[in-house]
């Protein structure tokens, strides 16, 4: 794949294939906009019907152009795109944008047409953007190569680069975001059906682009989703935050419903897990893009998550406290020396607790802001500061802004403001803040969300540093790989546990037996009490068939139990192939956990964790991570579920062995990586987690190998 | 309490007590703003220091005014407020606003001062607003009686009335909400410490006020919270939606932590329950106020929750689908005849499913919008329509808007638009939509939220109609009331269950016994198997003391068991007072539920429901309702918990007897109402819910009576 996307965004010549003289139509707009926004390179309309378009010489075919342009815009009917693409290949065009619709989004014939395009692009090494997209804007260099209402206006360029799978909506986000002192963009590209250059290719380029500081993505789904971790890590290393807007949860959730475990969270759970692991911030509306982007533009990150709030209105302070605490920030007590300082000037009916309420007394004495802010900035227990100025406006607002700017100059702690005055009545104040890159928001809720985003990202950077220091566990078992690869159907309990044991996951002691005598001998070796379970590929639900006996305590009970479970199994299903019984140690008392791994078609191996039974299956209280896991990410996924207190020792229980549980998760993830070519699903359910220091033990397991189709995919 | 608040909002004369000639200060501002905004009544500044202020004759004291004003604004120092309030009483002033700070918010001396004010107000029947507030605005009649930056501007009046406990933030909400074609307000009042006229008094007035159509509240806590249901029902009857912004969750949560059951959800859970029961819509940011308010101003409500989406950009459609499905709306398949119609004009690469994607082909043919919208409006399976126009702008936008307005005229189904063009490039289109009261939003997310709000409110109206048709269950037991009222400590298992049984809640069969012989006789009457539990006020945790035996199957086991539990109890605590044992039937297999009632100091009796053990205590998967419950609201609270599938029959279980469970909840709520004067907490845990048709049975219970302090409060 071509990666010299600088040429794509800043081409020295552009061909517009299918350019129309009707400038209102889709095929008329790109040339019009390129010209009206002052594109500096050469423009070559191509259309056999016209001698010229908009004053440019028009060529009957691409072959007749005097040079190979860096970029061709393809605006012809879907049925003719393949031909045109071949001509681009022959001419040596490195990049094309296919605007035309009528491909895979249409199904049927469209899918075939699209496959043809992929083949042609591959043959000629053409970097294809689209089809079914609305083009690209390089605002910094005035390249407006697309169509749509948004292209009518020019936008102030800035340091934000965005890739969007949706054309219409993507440009709307850019347009609204850059309005009214919002977030200025550098380049925006829409990728549509994305048969060539992908969202992650563009993000990867933005990370390398020296003039991009913040990356925004709008996606419906990623064909190369498993690259998310790698791209995320590059972005963290470059300290360029990625704001990701993922939509289409409901549909994708259904798509991925085929495997039982992934079904618990749907594919969205894997996206969320990947974003979290990769330090990619999720956004949920246009306002988030603007608000978070503005926060990052201040160029400061908090050292920790401790926030101090200063407010002139108690209401705003409470609101921000709610918002920030809900998003994992801390609102600490201020240091005693800070409180002492504040006592000198905050009115007695104000509050010296955090939030510090200086009250409307600000109207009688604006010095209050300056003094309070400085005292709090100096407090070593504070990592960042929010100030809430309600609707202060006019001269008073300008006075206050001057003081804030002065204090901000002498600290590297982020200061964010919630300031609700309308733009028209606080222009001077807002202008000063903008010049000093001090982010301000119209509501405490939005300010709180932006602060929490900064704090989350700073923590992701710190966490990434720690995780990189951990050596990833790599395990390999050729025996296990052979066993899974050669399986013709589900690998059931006994064999599945042998395979898991090969990766060091503790399993119950057990032996298969095909006669009463063998079972007796096995039970004596294992030691009473034991469990007996009928083994049959035809009886998946052994309990339902009453083909399980637990807590067998003696030879006599065992003999009777053997006869009973065999008889029950026969009665349940006369045709069942019986392979004898499994004699198993009783696992003992522990918390039941459910561990799983899926081999997701998009993400590759991923690990799931939850408590057993209802907790995972009904309440969906589960967590996901892409494999491989480090010990600290395994801890993270254990602590993330709501039921975690059960393991930590809720309701008078002794704390469970969470270290051993984390180790089992790490080993399961390593197994999933080792078995990637051949497994579809690994299930360990239940895994008993014993008291701290006593380990874990898998009591049942199931491995689904890849079906032949999946293997050859 | 005075309720003629028309006089408060539209006074014919206002005294400004403590008016200052320094117009920048808090005490200088109200007179300045009243004058500058053209207040039409009489103004009487009162201050012994000046002969005149701003050209008005200034009076040395209130007594010397030529008349009793309808409203007095009190701007003097906290220490002088009581005197001034007495003068207001003597003069016969019906309403005052106390702006001064320094009362209960300060603690200590401030609390005493505030109590004095309450006494004076009560003695003279003065309607007090404040103290510690920022005043009031009646925008419709140009009464700007307050201070703060927001008062510098004049605002277009409209049909929205708002009460806010926060002064600074409340006025900020109004100011921002009414900006740029937002939501116009009729009257706004801030109530601060709220010692007199309360938030609910104002809301009650707004419901009666013929010119108010939409009510907004911003609250930190309600002293008269139990009136929420009554006020909510009045609002539903008047079809005036209430948008409620409740903040301060974290603090209030701690306050209410004293009672174990309420602790599960904190008081915020009761607010949420009350809002839900009362049809009050919760909002979470200024944008919600504007967006929901604009949706309600269209004057249309959907008949059901079925939404059709038309979009010119696939991305926007997906986004809105996610948002609306997450908020409980349905995106149904369109009727076959609708799809047939659409096939005639939607491009083949568009989508005829819901969302209907007409694609960017709109640029080539604007008729598409008109035709598609009309076809979908005519579909009987559609209750409301959203249309997503991305960033359409200029002439094209105006054309499209004309068509939408035309279609909207001939239907009463709500049509909401997501339209992301900036205001400056779509003024004409937006102007037409505003004139026709067609709500439009800059992002599909906001449009989706607003639609869901409309739909939620319409459903609340329908539900209220249904609920009112149900006769509320009233139960009364003087025996039970006496038992709880006379209890000197917690009422434990046996007695608590007798009390619950008096209200018709099924309990296990059981008999107390003080000797082995009595126990044997009881067990024979009850029938084996039985359980034995030691009864002692000094052993609250019987299992821990090994003073419980379950599943006793014969006389011999019973005799042995009796000796054993008595001995264990003695060994556990030698000094324990033993009252014998409880002989109890074994309840049998069922789903364990946890039912509770709290007697909340703010809300009165409220009922809690959850599954037993970890589900309620660790996962906090519980629901709340204020008592009394109707059968359908009990069903609602059962179905609301995430664990509901366990009762409905998840994982191969038979469905549980949800009807009997709902009946038990209704009875528990009736008991809580009957016992309101004397109980603090009713706990039924576990209540076994058997298979459908087999009922429920309380296996353990505890009643905490009110302490002496609480009773005399």
Chain segment B74-129, per-residue pLDDT in tens: 999 999 999 999 999 999 999 999 999 888 877 788 889 999 999 999 999 999 99
Q: In the 8-state DSSP scheme, what is residue A204?
A: H
Q: What is the DSSP string of B392-436?
A: --HHHHHHHHHHHHHHHHT--S-EEEE--S-GGGSHHHHHHHHHT
Q: How far is CA B199 from CA A360, B72, B104, B362, B473, in A?
A: 21, 19, 18, 49, 30
For A496-502, which contacts have Cβ atoms below 8 Å and span 24 or more sequence positions?
Answer: A496/A682, A496/A701, A496/A702, A496/A703, A497/A698, A497/A701, A499/A671, A499/A703, A500/A668, A500/A671, A500/A682, A500/A684, A500/A698, A500/A701, A502/A477
Mean pLDDT for B325-345 is 92
Identify the residue among B315, B417, B444, B593 best suited for mutation to test binding to A, counting A beta carbons within 10 A and taking the highest: B315
Confidence of residue B256 (pLDDT cuts 50, 70, 90): very low
Residue B568 has what pLDDT? 94
Considering only CB atoms, B618 lies closest to which of A102, A442, A650, namely: A650
Residue A696 has what pLDDT? 97
Q: Is A168 in contact with B619 (Cβ distance < 8 A)?
A: no
Residue A168 has what pLDDT? 84
Assign A549 to helix, strand or coil: strand
* B115: nearest Cα among B182, B43, B195: B195
Residues of A in contact with B105 (CB under 8 A): 314, 349
pLDDT digit string (tens) for B57-86?
999 999 999 999 999 999 999 999 999 999
Residues of B in contact with A443 (CB under 8 A): 176, 285-287
User: How much of chain A exceeds pLDDT 70, in percent?
Assistant: 96
Confidence of residue A256 (pLDDT cuts 50, 70, 90): very low
Mean pLDDT for A521-525 is 95
Q: Give me Rg for the CA atoms of chain A.
A: 31
Residue B203 has what pLDDT? 98
Residues of B in contact with A313 (CB under 8 A): 166-169, 172
Min Cα distance A133 → chain B (Å) is 10
Strands A581-585 and A530-534: antiparallel
Which chain A residue lies closest to B319 (C-alpha atoms)? A247
Q: Is B26 in contact with A360 (Cβ distance < 8 A)?
A: yes
Mean pLDDT for A533-539 is 86
Which chain B residue lies closest to A419 (C-alpha atoms)? B172
Mean pLDDT for B156-167 is 94
> How many Cβ atoms from other residues are within 10 Å of residue B367's Cβ?
11
Contact present, A558 and A552 (Cβ < 8 Å): yes
pLDDT digit string (tens) for A167-204?
888 999 999 998 877 899 999 999 999 999 999 999 99
pTM of the model: 0.92
Residue B641 has what pLDDT? 95
Residue A349 has what pLDDT? 75
User: How much of chain B exceeds pLDDT 70, in percent?
Assistant: 96
- What's chain B's length in residues? 713
Pull the structure tokens for residue A286: 């246009």
d(CA B480, CA B677): 12
Place of tokens 């109206």: B461
Min Cα distance B692 → chain A (Å) is 20
Mean pLDDT of chain A: 91
Three-state SS letters, A39-65: CCCEEEEECCCCCEECCEECECCHHHC
Residue B264 has what pLDDT? 36
Q: Is A650 in contact with B316 (Cβ distance < 8 A)?
A: no
* A357: nearest Cα among A400, A391, A317, A386: A317
Residues of A in contact with B248 (CB under 8 A): 318, 322
Which chain B residue lies closest to A134 (C-alpha atoms)? B360
Identify the residue among B105, B168, B545 best suited for mutation to test binding to A, counting A beta carbons within 10 A and taking the highest: B168
pLDDT digit string (tens) for A635-675?
999 999 999 999 998 767 789 999 999 999 999 999 999 99
Min Cα distance B475 → chain A (Å) is 35
Pull the structure tokens for residue A100: 């035309």
Residue A358 has what pLDDT? 87
Which chain A residue lies closest to B621 (C-alpha atoms)? A619
Q: Is A175 in contact with B391 (Cβ distance < 8 A)?
A: yes
Assign A13 to helix, strand or coil: strand
Residue B252 has what pLDDT? 31
Contact present, A264 and A610 (Cβ < 8 Å): yes
Which chain A residue lies closest to B151 (C-alpha atoms)? A391
Residues of A in contact with B613 (CB under 8 A): 651
Contacts of A297 (CB under 8 A, 6+ apart): A159, A183, A213, A214, A437, A439
Residue A712 has what pLDDT? 44
User: How much of chain B exceeds pLDDT 90, in percent?
Assistant: 74
Confidence of residue B255 (pLDDT cuts 50, 70, 90): very low
Residue B251 has what pLDDT? 47
Q: What is the DSSP string of B75-107?
A: -S-HHHHHHHHHHHHHHT--EEEE----SGGG-
Kind and range of the H or E element at B591? strand B591-600
Considering only CB atoms, B315 lies closest to which of A168, A390, A643, namely: A168
Q: Is A24 in contact with B147 (Cβ distance < 8 A)?
A: no
Contacts of A632 (CB under 8 A, 6+ apart): A463, A466, A467, A470
Residue B674 has what pLDDT? 97
The phi and psi torsions of A71 (rounded to 5 degrees) equal -145, 135
pLDDT over 60 (residue A348):
yes
Which chain B residue lies closest to A154 (C-alpha atoms)? B425
pLDDT over 70 (residue A251):
no
Strands B307-311 and B356-357: parallel
pLDDT over 60 (residue B712):
no
Confidence of residue B261 (pLDDT cuts 50, 70, 90): very low
Q: Is B25 in contact with A425 (Cβ distance < 8 A)?
A: no
pLDDT over 60 (residue A710):
no
Confidence of residue A608 (pLDDT cuts 50, 70, 90): very high
> For the purposes of burial, counting CB atoms within 10 Å of the CB of A344, is it exposed (0-12), middle (13-18) or buried (19 or more)?
exposed
Confidence of residue B651 (pLDDT cuts 50, 70, 90): low
Residue B527 has what pLDDT? 94
Confidence of residue B363 (pLDDT cuts 50, 70, 90): confident
Considering only CB atoms, B318 lies closest to which of A172, A248, A349, namely: A248
d(CA A631, CA A611): 19
Min Cα distance A105 → chain B (Å) is 7
Tell me which of A129-138, A179-188, A637-646, B142-151 is least confident.
A179-188
Residue B1 has what pLDDT? 58
Residues of A in contact with B397 (CB under 8 A): 149
Which chain A residue lies closest to B177 (C-alpha atoms)? A422
pLDDT digit string (tens) for A426-458?
999 999 999 999 999 999 999 999 999 999 999
pLDDT digit string (tens) for B235-250?
999 999 999 999 876 5
Residues of B in contact with A620 (CB under 8 A): 642
Confidence of residue A7 (pLDDT cuts 50, 70, 90): very high
> For the purposes of burial, counting CB atoms within 10 Å of the CB of A671, is it exposed (0-12), middle (13-18) or buried (19 or more)?
buried
Q: Is B110 in contact with A349 (Cβ distance < 8 A)?
A: yes
Q: Is A445 in contact with B24 (Cβ distance < 8 A)?
A: no
Min Cα distance B133 → chain A (Å) is 10
pLDDT digit string (tens) for B682-695?
999 999 999 999 99
Which chain A residue lies closest to B77 (C-alpha atoms)? A349
Q: Is A651 in contact with B617 (Cβ distance < 8 A)?
A: yes
Q: Is A442 in contact with B286 (Cβ distance < 8 A)?
A: yes
Contact present, B202 and B163 (Cβ < 8 Å): yes
Residue A50 has what pLDDT? 96
Contact present, A496 and A703 (Cβ < 8 Å): yes
Which chain B residue lies closest to A314 (C-alpha atoms)? B166
Question: DSSP H helical segments within B179-248, as ranges?
Answer: 199-208, 228-237
Min Cα distance A252 → chain B (Å) is 11
d(CA A164, CA B113): 61
Q: Is A175 in contact with B420 (Cβ distance < 8 A)?
A: yes
pLDDT over 50 (residue B615):
yes
Residue B228 has what pLDDT? 94
Contact present, A634 and A665 (Cβ < 8 Å): yes
Of B334 and A615, the structure prediction assigns the larger pLDDT to: B334
Considering only CB atoms, B349 lies closest to which of A101, A313, A443, namely: A101
pLDDT digit string (tens) for B536-590?
878 877 888 889 999 999 999 999 999 999 999 999 999 988 889 999 999 888 9
Residue B352 has what pLDDT? 83
Contact present, B245 and B272 (Cβ < 8 Å): no
Mean pLDDT of chain B: 91
Residue B272 has what pLDDT? 92
Q: For chain A, first and last CA: distance in Å?
A: 21
Q: In the 8-state DSSP scheme, what is residue B613?
A: T
Up-side HSE of residue B458: CA atoms within 13 Å toward CB? Answer: 23
Sign of CA dihedral B393, B398, B401, B403: negative
Tell me which of A484-493, A685-694, B190-199, B516-525 is least confident.
A484-493
- The ipTM of this complex is 0.89
Which chain B residue lies closest to A394 (C-alpha atoms)? B149
Residue B456 has what pLDDT? 97
pLDDT digit string (tens) for A11-60?
999 999 999 999 989 999 999 999 999 999 999 999 999 999 999 999 99
d(CA A583, CA A558): 10
Contact present, B215 and B164 (Cβ < 8 Å): no
Across B694-710, b (16+ Cβ under 10 Å) vs e yields ebbbbbbbbbbbbeeee
pLDDT over 90 (residue A104):
no
Assign B556 to helix, strand or coil: helix
Q: Is B322 in contact with A170 (Cβ distance < 8 A)?
A: no
Mean pLDDT for B185-200 is 95
Mean pLDDT for B518-541 is 91
Residues of A in contact with B429 (CB under 8 A): none
CA A173, A176, A177: angle at the middle one, nearest 5?
75
Residue A708 has what pLDDT? 63
pLDDT over 60 (residue A265):
no
Q: What is the DSSP string of B321-386?
A: HHHHHHTT-B-PPPPHHHHHHHHTTS-TTSB-SSSEE--GGGGT-THHHHHHHHHHHT-TT-SEEE
Contacts of A215 (CB under 8 A, 6+ apart): A160, A161, A162, A203, A206, A207, A235, A240, A241, A242, A243
């Amino acid at each position: 794949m071509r990666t010299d996307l600088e040429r794509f965004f800043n081409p020295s010549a552009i061909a517009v294939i299918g350019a129309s003289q009707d400038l209102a139509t889709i095929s008329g707009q790109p040339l019009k906009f390129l010209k009206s926004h002052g594109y500096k390179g050469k423009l070559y309309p191509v259309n056999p019907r016209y001698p010229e378009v908009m004053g440019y010489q028009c060529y009957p075919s691409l072959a007749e152009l005097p040079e190979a342009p860096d970029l061709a815009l393809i605006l012809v009917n879907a049925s003719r795109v393949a031909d045109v693409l071949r001509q681009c290949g022959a001419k040596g065009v490195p990049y094309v944008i296919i605007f035309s619709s009528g491909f895979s989004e249409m199904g049927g014939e469209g899918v075939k047409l699209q496959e043809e395009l992929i083949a042609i692009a591959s043959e000629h090494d053409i970097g294809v953007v689209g089809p079914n997209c609305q083009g690209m804007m390089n605002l910094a260099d005035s390249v407006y190569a697309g169509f749509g209402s948004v292209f009518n206006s020019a936008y102030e360029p800035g340091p934000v680069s965005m890739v969007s799978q949706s054309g219409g909506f993507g440009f709307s986000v850019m347009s609204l975001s850059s309005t009214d002192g919002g977030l200025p963009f550098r380049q925006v590209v829409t990728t549509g059906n994305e048969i060539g250059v992908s969202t992650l290719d563009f993000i990867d380029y933005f990370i390398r682009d020296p003039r991009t500081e913040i990356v925004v993505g709008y996606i419906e789904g990623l064909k190369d989703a498993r690259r998310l971790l790698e791209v995320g890590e590059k972005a963290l290393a470059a300290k360029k935050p990625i704001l990701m807007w993922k939509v289409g949860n409901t549909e994708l959730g259904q798509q991925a419903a085929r495997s039982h475990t992934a079904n618990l969270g749907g594919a969205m759970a894997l996206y969320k897990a990947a974003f979290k692991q990769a330090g990619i911030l999720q956004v949920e509306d246009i306002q988030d893009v603007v608000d978070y982007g503005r926060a990052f533009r201040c160029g400061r990150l908090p050292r920790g998550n401790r926030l101090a709030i200063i407010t002139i209105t108690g209401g705003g302070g409470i609101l921000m406290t709610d918002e920030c605490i809900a998003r994992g920030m801390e609102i600490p007590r201020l240091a005693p020396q800070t409180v002492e300082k504040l006592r000198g000037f905050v009115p007695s009916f104000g509050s010296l607790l955090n939030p510090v309420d200086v009250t409307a007394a600000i109207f009688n004495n604006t010095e209050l802001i300056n003094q309070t802010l400085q005292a709090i900035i100096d407090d070593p227990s504070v990592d960042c500061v929010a100030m809430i100025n309600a609707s202060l406006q006019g001269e008073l607002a300008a006075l206050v802004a001057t003081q804030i700017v002065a204090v901000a100059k002498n600290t590297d702690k982020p200061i964010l403001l919630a300031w609700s005055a309308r733009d028209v009545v606080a222009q001077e104040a807002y202008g000063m803040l903008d010049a000093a890159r001090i982010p301000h928001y119209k509501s405490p809720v939005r300010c709180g969300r932006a602060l929490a985003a900064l704090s989350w990202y700073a923590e992701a950077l710190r966490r990434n540093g720690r995780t990189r220091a951990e050596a990833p566990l790599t395990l390999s078992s050729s025996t296990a790989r052979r066993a899974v690869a050669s399986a013709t159907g589900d690998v059931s309990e006994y064999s599945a546990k042998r395979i898991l044991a090969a990766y060091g996951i503790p399993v119950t002691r057990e032996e298969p037996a095909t006669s009463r005598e063998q079972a007796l001998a096995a039970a004596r070796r294992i030691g009473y009490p034991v469990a007996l379970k009928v083994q049959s590929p035809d009886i998946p639900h052994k309990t339902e068939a009453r083909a399980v006996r637990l807590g067998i305590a003696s030879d006599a009970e065992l003999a009777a139990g053997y006869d009973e479970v065999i008889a029950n199994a026969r009665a349940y299903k006369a045709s069942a192939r019986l392979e004898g019984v499994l004699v198993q140690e009783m696992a003992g008392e522990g918390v039941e956990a459910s561990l799983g791994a899926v081999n997701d078609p998009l993400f590759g191996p991923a690990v799931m964790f939850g408590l057993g039974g209802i907790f995972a299956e009904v309440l969906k209280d589960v967590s996901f991570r892409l494999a491989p896991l480090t010990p600290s990410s395994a801890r993270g996924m254990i602590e993330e579920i709501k039921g975690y207190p059960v393991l930590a020792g809720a309701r008078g229980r002794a704390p469970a062995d969470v270290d051993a549980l984390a180790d089992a998760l790490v080993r399961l993830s390593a197994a999933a990586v080792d078995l990637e070519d051949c497994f579809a699903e690994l299930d360990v359910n239940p895994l008993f987690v014993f008291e701290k220091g006593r380990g874990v033990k898998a009591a049942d397991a199931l491995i689904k190998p890849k079906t032949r189709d999946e293997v050859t995919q």
